[in-house]
Structure 1
Amino acid sequence: MTDETAAALTPAGRRDLLPAIEPERTLDDWGCSERIEGLFDQTVYEFYYRIWFRCEVEGVENVPSTGGALLVSNHAGALPPDAAMITKAIKEEHPHPRLVRPLVEHFFKGYPGFSMLAPKIGAVPAHPANVHRLLADEGQLALVFPEGRKGSEKLFKDRYRLRRFGRGGFVESAMRAAVPIVPIALVGAEEAQPIFAHVGVFQKLTRLIYFPITPTFPWLGPLALAGYLPAKFKIRFLEPVRTDDMGAAPWEDEGLVQEVAQEIRARIQEELIDMLGRRRSVWLG
């Protein structure tokens, strides 16, 4: 073995064999494409945010300007547009605009096309390791919907009635990263893509996570983007809940984790009731 070969087998030598990072690279470590995300932001998101849903935002200053934070919102609709509107709101209305990483469940892999598009526009798989890296290591904003699939499957007759917030995993993640939790109450998504029933037979035939009866036909994939009803969106950011003042290793106290999760759920539910009570029209606000 020559000296050159031996040197190439060392860690430093192997590193030298790797291609250099391209200066024009527009894809980050999470798979988000600056070009594709920017295109969606300037076209699709811009249209829905300003023209179609005519979003109104309150309390956006409650989102920290620096450091990690976990955003927690209610969730609904056959193909919910709430994540896109929340991320757009922070970009447009916050004094210090920031990128938000929506956390998506693994069952979204069942949607052809969307599973490839999601990471390109900034979404990240909802895994505890990913969440900790985003919040603690990179100091980013992450958006989670604790209702998960139960929220997006919700029927129209059950609108704005929050489902159980899982087992409080989002609280545990925030505690481990010692970052604040920012609750969000959003009105409008329930009417933008209402679900009136589910068809189990078609669900099995298509192998989708659910097959809803809705006027917006979400099973048509990309065509569903043209099917949202023009309900007016109102997004209210609530005061943050600190997790860095709850003692040492608070995530090990399951009772405390559940208590915080239930308090956040109750706060969001109360705000939704208040917002609905003030609303005079689904379409005009």
Structure 2
Amino acid sequence: MAERPGDRPEAPVVSLAEKRHQHVDDPLTAGRELVHVPTTEKAMAPDDDPRLGDVDEWGRSERMRGLVRRAFDPVYRHYFRAEWEGLEHIPTDGGALLVANHAGAVPSDAPVIMHGIETELERPVYGLADNFFRKIPVVGTLWSRAGGLPAHPDNAYRLLNGQGQLVLVFPEGVKGTSKTIANRYKLARFGRGGFVEIAMRAVAVMGNEEANPILWRLPGAKMLGVPYLPVTPQSLVLGPLGTLVPLPAKFKLRVLPPVTFDVPPSQHRYSRTRIMDGSQEIQGKIQEALYEMVAERRNWWGG
């Protein structure tokens, strides 16, 4: 059973005690199934660990993650030419929630952010995403081994407060990745504030909108069991599989100062209005940073 926020003095700003009974529509609270979590600290002790491989309780494999880093590094450095600003705002130890904007028919922002932090700061990053990916054969397993897991508040809380990890979340969810190119760099609604309960850092990402832009969306996605059916420039030239090939847009990532809230921790209940205010504050900061970054760049592909 996941730990309750009231059990720890260092609990996050907003309690997660009743989150699993609430219906929210942002990706941090949208997952329907939980990853198995050990019930005791003893179960996590190396000497008692019955696993024969290096797969942790979340499904992440450091061996697989290392292979992914080696394969993705040339793409990160020479294809996307990623540049960071404000990496000093990400702590070198302890848990922190990273909140970023999201875009692209097949988003490239998550692997770029995770790879950049893991190579620059040498800290693992767990990426929270819609449970849809986990249901795809082979892809779901690879996604899990590379550090992905369902976006559920209990998963986030355990990683952050129980294990002191870095956790990446995209509050726009499918609303962000299904945006057409006409709405690039205009943030979609951040749901109902499911991510506000934990101290966080915000990351503004520029380049993800152009790496896999959506020209328009085709109808019939629900019939096929997918969130949306995108048409991209690559798919017009290469066919449906072209959507999987991102364009060489230059990525610029800006880490904003950490966000704090002037309310006491470990409360049993928090004002929904206060939570929504916090959500809108984070969204506003990222949106402002994006507008500044877009105004400063010279072109889409050269930064």
Which has the larger share of helix?
1
Correspondence 1:59 to 2:114: no
Q: Which has the higher contact order (CA 8 A, sep 6+)?
A: 2
Q: CA RMSD in A?
A: 2.3
Counting matched residue pairs gives: 255
Query: Alpha-carbon deviations, 1:44-94, whole Å to 9, x = none?
Result: x20221011000000001001111100000000011010111111112333
Query: Alpha-carbon deviations, 1:175-224, whole Å to 9, x = none?
Result: xxxxx2101100000000000111113x2554322111112349957x75
Distance in 2 separating the partners of 1:73 and 1:168: 14
Correspondence for 2:66: 38
Distance in 2 separating the partners of 1:198 and 1:105: 19
1:70-149 → structure 2 map (5 Å cutoff) = 70-94=97-121, 97-109=122-134, 111-149=136-174
> With structure 1 as the length reference, what TM-score do the two structures score?
0.83
Correspondence for 1:278: 296
Correspondence for 1:11: none
SS of match in other structure, 2:132: helix
> With structure 2 as the length reference, what TM-score do the two structures score?
0.78
Correspondence 1:181 to 2:200: yes
Q: Percent identity?
A: 43
Distance in 1 separating the partners of 2:149 and 2:292: 32
Deviation at 1:263, TM superposition (A): 0.7
Structure 1: runs of 5+ lacking an equivalent:
1-14, 175-179
Distance in 2 separating the partners of 1:276 and 1:29: 40
Deviation at 1:109, TM superposition (A): 4.1
Question: Is the Cα contact below 8 Å between 2:80 and 2:251 reproduced in 1?
Answer: yes
Distance in 2 separating the partners of 1:55 and 1:68: 24
Deviation at 1:24, TM superposition (A): 6.0
Deviation at 1:239, TM superposition (A): 0.2
Which structure has the bigger radius of gyration? 1
Correspondence 1:242 to 2:260: yes
Correspondence for 2:209: 190
Amino acid at match of 2:182: K
Distance in 1 separating the partners of 2:178 and 2:287: 18
SS of match in other structure, 1:216: helix
Task: Flag as ranges the 4+ runs of structure 1 deviating above 6 A.
Answer: none
Amino acid at match of 2:209: E
